[in-house]
């Protein structure tokens, strides 16, 4: 699959084949793809927590009402930002950098045959990212930005995104 096909075929999956196992090598490839994302001054202000434990996944669902797909997902990957990695070097571009890492992870998962769903945590005024930080035991200053559900898709949703020419301005 070429890159444009992958972008056009990626979907947010909310139903997975329950009990499907994702090999560690595939998880490693997804994380490698994430870590190959561009970042401001190559600061790489991210870290990842892979959660396979069903009790932990239930706690994720308790933290965020938008993560109910974890019930059937094979695993969750929490993507955390490390603002301290950019302090004094390039400003606070860690949210953009983590977003690029997440998109790489999603596209790699699709290439490997898995479905994903990106569930945001930061910024939230409802305490979600703070609760996630406590759940996964992050170090001080590390901010859980999103949790990604990963599994074998058990649905084929229609494409929802589309090209909207009214959102494009061309300056000659």
Identify the pLDDT of residue 1: 80
Residue 163, in any domain of the structure: no
In this structure, what CATH number is given to the domain that contains residue 72? 3.40.109.10
Task: Report the pLDDT averaged over residues 101-120.
Answer: 98
Task: Report the pLDDT averaged over residues 26-51.
Answer: 97
Residue 146, in any domain of the structure: yes
Residue 162, in any domain of the structure: no
Residue 167, in any domain of the structure: no
> Domain residues for 144?
3-154
Domain count, the chain: 1
Identify the pLDDT of residue 49: 98
**pLDDT confidence tier of residue 80, bands split at 50, 70 and 90:** very high
pTM of the model: 0.96
Whether the per-residue pLDDT at 69 is higher than 90: the answer is yes
Going by their DSSP bridges, the two strands 75-81 and 143-151 should be labelled as antiparallel
Summary count for the chain: helices (H), strands (E): 5, 4
Residue 165, in any domain of the structure: no
**pLDDT confidence tier of residue 25, bands split at 50, 70 and 90:** very high
């Amino acid at each position: 699959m070429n890159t444009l096909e992958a972008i056009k075929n990626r979907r947010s999956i909310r139903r997975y084949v329950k009990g499907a196992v994702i090999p560690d090598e595939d998880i490693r490839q997804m994380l490698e793809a994430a870590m190959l994302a561009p970042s401001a001054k190559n600061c790489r202000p991210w870290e990842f927590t892979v959660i396979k434990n069903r009790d932990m996944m239930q706690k994720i669902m308790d933290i965020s009402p938008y993560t109910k797909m974890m019930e059937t997902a094979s695993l969750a990957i929490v993507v955390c930002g490390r603002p301290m990695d950019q302090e004094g070097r390039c400003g606070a571009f860690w949210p953009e950098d983590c977003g690029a890492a997440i998109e790489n992870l999603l596209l790699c998962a699709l290439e490997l045959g898995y479905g994903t769903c990106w569930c945001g945590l930061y910024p939230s005024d409802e305490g979600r990212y703070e609760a996630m930080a406590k759940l996964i035991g992050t170090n001080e200053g590390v901010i859980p930005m999103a949790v990604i559900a990963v599994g074998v898709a058990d649905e084929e949703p229609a494409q929802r995104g589309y090209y909207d020419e009214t959102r494009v301005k061309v300056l000659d």
